[in-house]
Structure 1
């Protein structure tokens, strides 16, 4: 009896199991641009691309200011549901209206948020990050002039597990606000306060008292700090590996010299006889 062949039609890429193969083994290696190209091929391709976006854990768009990106971002806001790392630094087009839906859909998992130089959003966008992102560990808000004392006060109430924090060039935050804030951050390892006018010796003392795990600190352009604050900080943070103090006129080699060799200091020695200075410091002690 002859064998009858049953014809089921031609197999395509989309017949491969999506959950076990296509999404974790193939689309996971495609860029966002690749997924959007795939999305435009057919209705089935659109469903696959959007299913892949839903499983994405990272979104990197920093510096991407290409034409009509706002339209693509609305698709991302709707589809992405499992983001853990969100990088949107220098996205000049970003607004509260665009960002809030994405944050609300991913607030349970987000652990790293980079909004450096996002100048067209407001403190309103921080609300879901501050209150509902319980897994938040990294927050970068450099050059966000909209960051206010009230927003930092809210961070103080809701976020105590940050390991990296950047508020460089944020001039609207007060000294007292920072002093209270750093009392809760005992897990902090990386801190950038560059060109933040309200950073004083008292702020550094609080950082030293409570942020004992600190490894790297950027104080470039903090004109109000002096040897007193830097000494208090470095004495209290045994894990400190780097100290950036360029353009800090009140910080002198008197406090920096004993630290050289123990940790990286961004400011070179200029016009000092280091051995002689260390000897004088030893005699003064």
Structure 2
């Protein structure tokens, strides 16, 4: 019996690939480590290819900004089951040519991050809207190629949107945002930051249609005023945070309503702002705890 135990050994690759290695072991290995396994042997290379064709999440940030275009295209060419796709680290070179095939064969995507991917076009967003009906979360920050027509397509076809980042999508105007929120009543988080075209019209429509809204970023939206913030306070009782820094027409007369509900604001109360200013000017602060 002892001799049998001594001679009994199991090779890692002898374990069932699809039932054990891929779903229970490789899923816990960082993506960079997964790719390193390809260099061990041809068998490991086949295992990695199987893993990549069945993985539900691809996060390019795990590989940094050094992921080559050719490597990226080969990694996901056989995958049809992606649920989360983060391509922010590919922003320097990602174009429609690389993205469209992946979007076209993955119809179960729930989350897509394209923040800073400036070399894409509206064609990519239209493709996402047609191929990903279950999409809940999309990041389009600083993608100036997002226009009113492509956003309308997204709103028309992706009915389950809960999170959308439109930071610095400068071509969007009130009309496009109103259409979006009328179609996306499930929205919980919305960023319209750094968009001088957005006014009270869009914010009031957002408040009236998205009653479950929890996070709203209006940083730098210069045309937003107190009126829409009051409407937000009236309709959105679940709101947890609001960013209005550099919104010069938003004052404490509207923010105070939300402040009383313990909504996290990026603007300090008037007294605290005055004390901080005093400290900056005269070099000392009164004996008051500024953290209160």
Structure 2 equivalent of residue 269 of structure 1: 269
8 Å contact from structure 2 (residues 252, 270) kept in 1: no
Q: Deviations over 1:172-196 (max 9, x none)?
A: 1122121122111111111111112
Superposition pairs of residues 80-119 of structure 1, within 5 angstroms: 80-91=79-90, 92-106=92-106, 108-119=107-118
Tell whether 2:224 aligns with 1:190: no
Deviations 1:82-134 (A, max 9, x none): 1101111242121111111221221x210000100011111122222111201
Give structure 1 stretches of 5+ with no counterpart: 275-285
Query: In structure 2, how many angstroms separate the alpha carbons of the residues matched to 1:13 and 1:121?
Result: 42
Deviations 1:206-264 (A, max 9, x none): 01110000011011100001001111112111111111110000001111123213111
Query: CA 1:90 to 1:273, structure 2 compared with 1: closer, same or farther past 3 Å?
Result: closer
Map of 1:78 onto structure 2: 77
User: How many Å separate the matches in 1 of 2:97 and 2:218?
Assistant: 33
CA RMSD of aligned residues (A): 2.2
User: How far apart, in 2, do the equivalents of 1:81 and 1:34 lie?
Assistant: 22
State the match for 2:150 in structure 1: 151
Give the Cα separation in 2 of the matches to 1:147 and 1:23. 37
Question: 1:26-45 deviations in whole A, cap 9, x for unaligned?
Answer: 21112222222112222211
Contact kept in structure 1, 2:133 and 2:159, CA below 8 Å = no
Tell me the equivalent position of 2:65: 65
For the 8 Å contact 2:128–2:154, the answer to whether it is kept is no
- Give, in whole Å, the separation in 1 of the partners of 2:273 and 2:222: 25
Q: What is the rounded CA distance, in whole Å, between the counterparts of 2:216 and 2:38 in structure 1?
A: 43
The separation in 2 between residues aligned to 1:230 and 1:118, in whole angstroms, is 31
Instruction: Give distance in 2, aligned partners of 1:9 and 1:42.
Output: 23
Question: For 1:60 and 1:90, how far apart are their aligned partners in 2?
Answer: 9
In 1, Cα distance between the equivalents of 2:16 and 2:49? 15
Counterpart of 1:173?
Answer: 172
Number of aligned residues: 266
Give structure 2 stretches of 5+ with no counterpart.
275-292
> 1:193-204 residue pairs with structure 2 within 5 A?
193-204=192-203
Which residue pairs with 1:279 in the alignment?
Answer: none
